[in-house]
Chain A
Amino acid sequence: MKPRHFLAFSLILLMPVMAYAGAAQKPIIDGYMAAAKAENAAFSGFSADRGKAFFLAKHDASPETPSCTTCHTADPTKAGQTRAGKDVAPMAVSKTPDRFTDAEKVEKWFTRNCQSVIGRACTAQEKGDFITFMASL
């Protein structure tokens, strides 16, 4: 086999795997998509830009945790740290591929962190935007 052929052949073999890695978060996004449509009839899709703004925004529900960046750092490709000193793996899917793949875990943390930071539950649109942003990095 010539090297060029070998490369092409490998790429073909790898394609399903690569597609899968991108799609690992799809079921959860789809779930939030349906919920967002139910919440708001005018909903027209998630946006990474809105997700980024939401991630960086400052809130005043709690002086200890004013923002998602308090623990996840402003650069989601970097590891963060909890208030109690424990490292948190990067939120960017490119760095931590199994992010947003376990629906129960995702809901548990949205419930907690939205309550801690914003003082209310997040909407389905905010959640979907957030994940879309993290998957885009």
Chain B
Amino acid sequence: MESNSSQMTPATVPVWDIGVRIFHWALLAAVFVAAMTGFFGSPDSLQIHLIAGISISLLVLFRLIWGFSGSTYARFRTFLFSPVKVRERIQEMRAGRHTRYIGHNPLGAWMIFALLASLIFIVCTGTVVLGGVFKQGPLAFITSFATGRFVQEIHQILAFGLVGLIGLHLAGVAYETVFGKEKLISAMISGNKPAGSNVPAPRFAPARPIVALIAFIALGMAGTTGVASFASRPGLGVPTAAIDPLYAKECGACHFAYHPSMGTAALWDGVLSHLDQHFGEDASLPDATRAQLAAYLKENSSEHWDTRIAHVLATANPKEPLRFTATRFWTRMHREIPDQVFASKAVGFKGACNACHSDAKTGLFAPQNIEIPEGARL
């Protein structure tokens, strides 16, 4: 309980324990990285975005545990306020009055929960996007591309929402600093605030770091094991069979053998019907061989798969319907790569996907597997 004796009251009181402070600043860094890579990143920054997202998940997990095992002001029960209290706080602010809370004030407390909830939703929707669109992660085995694409919109809206919440959070800090004369930023660094409050202090609780650590390790390990076991399942609609050897030999003689899932049935049919005029070259084959290839490609064309490449290359360019490299998606993705890079000896031409996408043969085209070969860089 609060002491009434002025000599007994120390000048400052510890408020934010080390767990809260490290959490706060580490979360700031992780959210910053996730936001920069998410809003402004290119495909090759997806890996950093994922690492930031995983860090955020672990930080939030820690904070949830610390909310029950941290010291007094870290505990959720010390800043659970009813909507009535929030309304009162707003009315106070309108009237220019100021009740001093040592821990979070009701409005600030609601912001903490809103931020945590928003981060949880963003991490969850991000995992759905990763599973559906990129066929990676724990939800790949169950999430369709269409679902992933749809949830991607939600993920983006939530991310904008988070930016808005952070803006309000900063506005709140500024308001408290200016009108409440609270040094909130230095309190989040030193952990201490000046003593004295006009609301009763909550019941004291000691930090229980060992309990928190055990809970964190147990939940973290259970989560990691679960994620790893789900992530090892084959992705929904992802081709896993080896490439047919005849196809690999015949269609891999002049360029790498395009994965069958890259082309629509119409594209493969068009290519096989005009092998004697194959993009300016004669690539004709005996009829029997051609028929075998036609059957294989028809059975494995993009219509049969749910990978990103099967969807994004499916809309042909009517001017050059047989070229992947003429599709809108392809030209948009590669518009920043100069022609000399494609013409270089290390690449050859635009369609030599495997020169830069090390997993092109599998039809996966993961953003993590892109690298322009050294000899081709300008």
Residues on A facing B (Cβ under 8 Å): 62, 64-65, 81-86, 108, 111-113, 115-116
Contact = CB atoms under 8 A, between A and B. Distances in A.
Interface string B233-261: 00000000000000000000111100000
Nearest to B345: A81
For A64, A82, A84, A116, the residue with the greatest tally of chain B CB atoms inside 10 Å of its CB is A84
B254 A108 contact: no
B282 interface: yes
A31 B20 CA distance: 85
Chain B, interface SS category: loop
B336 interface: no
A123 B348 CA distance: 31
Given A62-B280, A64-B280, A84 B352 contact: yes
A85 B352 contact: yes
A84 B284 contact: no
24 contacts: A62-B280, A82-B253, A82-B255, A83-B254, A83-B281, A84-B254, A84-B348, A84-B349, A84-B352, A85-B345, A85-B347, A85-B355, A86-B256, A86-B348, A111-B282, A111-B284, A112-B281, A112-B283, A112-B284, A115-B282, A115-B284, A116-B280, A116-B281, A116-B282
B11 interface: no
B353 to A, nearest CB: 11
A132 B341 CA distance: 38
Interface string B251-289: 001111000000000000000000010001111111000
Contacts of B285: 108
A113 B282 contact: yes
A86 B255 contact: yes
Contacts of A116: 280-282
Nearest to B285: A108
Contact of A84 (B282, B286, B345, B351): B351
A3 to B, nearest CB: 46
A108 B285 CA distance: 7
A82 B352 CA distance: 11
Contacts of A82: 253-255, 348
B169 to A, nearest CB: 52
B373 to A, nearest CB: 10
For A64, A81, A82, the residue with the greatest tally of chain B CB atoms inside 10 Å of its CB is A82
A83 B349 contact: yes
Contacts of A81: 345, 348
A84 B352 CA distance: 7
A112 B355 CA distance: 25
B284 A85 contact: no
Contacts of B352: 84-86
A112 B255 contact: no
Interface in B148-172: none
A29 to B, nearest CB: 22
B50 to A, nearest CB: 32
A92 B355 CA distance: 27
A10 to B, nearest CB: 37
For B254, B280, B345, B347, the residue with the greatest tally of chain A CB atoms inside 10 Å of its CB is B254
A85 to B, nearest CB: 1
A116 B281 CA distance: 5
A119 B283 CA distance: 13
A36 B344 CA distance: 41
Given A84-B349, A85-B348, A112 B256 contact: no
A107 B351 CA distance: 27
For B253, B284, B347, B351, the residue with the greatest tally of chain A CB atoms inside 10 Å of its CB is B253
A88 to B, nearest CB: 9
A113 to B, nearest CB: 7
Contacts of A62: 280-281
A108 B256 CA distance: 19
For A81, A82, A85, A115, the residue with the greatest tally of chain B CB atoms inside 10 Å of its CB is A85
A81 B253 CA distance: 11
Contact of B349 (A65, A85, A112, A115): A85
A84 B256 CA distance: 9
A115 B275 CA distance: 12
A84 to B, nearest CB: 4
A65 B281 contact: yes
Contact of B255 (A84, A113, A115): A84
Contacts of B282: 111-113, 115-116
Nearest to B283: A112
Nearest to B276: A115
Interface in B293-347: 345, 347
Contacts of B347: 85
Contacts of A64: 280-281
Contacts of A85: 255, 345, 347-349, 352, 355
